[in-house]
Amino acid sequence: MISFAKSGKEVNASSEQSILEVAEAEGIEIPSNCRSGNCGTCKQKLRLGEVEYQSEPNALSDSEKEQGFILTCISHPVGRVAIDA
């Protein structure tokens, strides 16, 4: 389950889809560009839960990681998650 705080939507999601793919399928707009974790355009704040990455998120600084930011293009939900979008 992914909760999108700003849009007020909760969506069932499998861990096989990235958070960005789930958002797009539900009509939730998250800016994106490279879709490979290199540009940071899709960065969002993770409010709840945990994600796994399909590859290392190059576009996040250590400080951003500590603050709970994720790259939605390469992150996959682990159980229930909530993000700002």
In terms of Cα–Cα distance, which of 26, 24, 21 is closest to 10?
Answer: 26
Q: CA-CA distance, 64 to 67, in Å (whole number)?
A: 5
Structure confidence at residue 60 as a pLDDT band (50, 70, 90): very high
Fold of 2-83: Ubiquitin-like (UB roll) (3.10.20)
Vertex 35: Cα angle to 34 and 37 (nearest 5): 85
Write out pLDDT tens, residues 11-57: 999 889 999 999 999 999 999 999 999 999 999 999 999 999 988 89
Amino acid code (one letter) for 68: G
Q: CA-CA distance, 34 to 69, in Å (whole number)?
A: 17
Burial of 14 (0-12, 13-18, 19+ CB in 10 A): exposed
pTM of the prediction? 0.93
